[in-house]
Structure 1
Amino acid sequence: MPFINIKTPEGALSKVQKEEIVHRATDLMVEYFSEAARPHTMVLIEEVRDGGYGRADEVFILPPEYRAAD
């Protein structure tokens, strides 16, 4: 079973965008593994709270202009 785990800042994606990511990621797995993979493909979108991620000693906070409008 293909399993895709996507981590994104909390509030960065709308419900519609998340649905699109699930569909497109599933389609990608089908391209590689055949249509038989579709019912078994799991796509998990994890939203990470502000301050819960960083790089090179910098803790990230999502700016308001990057938040999804929903």
Structure 2
Amino acid sequence: MPFANIKVPQAALSSAQKEEIVHRVTELFVDYFSEAVRPHTMVLIEEVLDGGYGRADEVYVIPEAYRARD
């Protein structure tokens, strides 16, 4: 079973964007492995809380301008 685990900052994606990612990643796996994998493909989108990750030794908080609007 193909499995994709995608981590994004909390509130960075709208529900529609998450749905699109699920569909596009599923299609990617189908392109590589064949249509037979579609019913067995799992795509997990995890939202990481602000301050729960960092880059270059700095704790990251997503700017308000980049937050998704549902």
TM-score range, shorter chain: over 0.9
Corresponding position of 1:54: 54
Structure 1 residue 56: deviation in Å?
Answer: 1.8
Tell me, which stretches of 5 or more residues in structure 1 are unaligned?
Answer: none
Per the normalisation by structure 2, the TM-score is 0.98
Q: Secondary structure at the match of 2:51?
A: coil
Q: TM-score, normalised by structure 1?
A: 0.98
| 4+ runs deviating over 2 angstroms | none
Q: Identity, % of aligned pairs?
A: 74
Residue-by-residue CA offset, 1:5-64 (whole Å, 9 max, x unaligned):
000000000000000000000000000000000000000000000000111211100000
> Take 1:29 and 1:14, find their aligned partners in 2: how far apart are those partners?
23
Q: Could you tell me which runs of 5 or more consecutive residues in structure 2 were left unpaired when the two chains were aligned.
A: none
Partner-residue secondary structure (3-state), 1:13: coil
The aligned residue for residue 22 of structure 2 is 22
- CA-atom RMSD, angstroms? 0.4
Matched, 1:4 2:8: no
1:29-48 pair list within 5 angstroms: 29-48=29-48
**How many angstroms apart in 1 are the aligned matches of 2:41 and 2:60?**
30
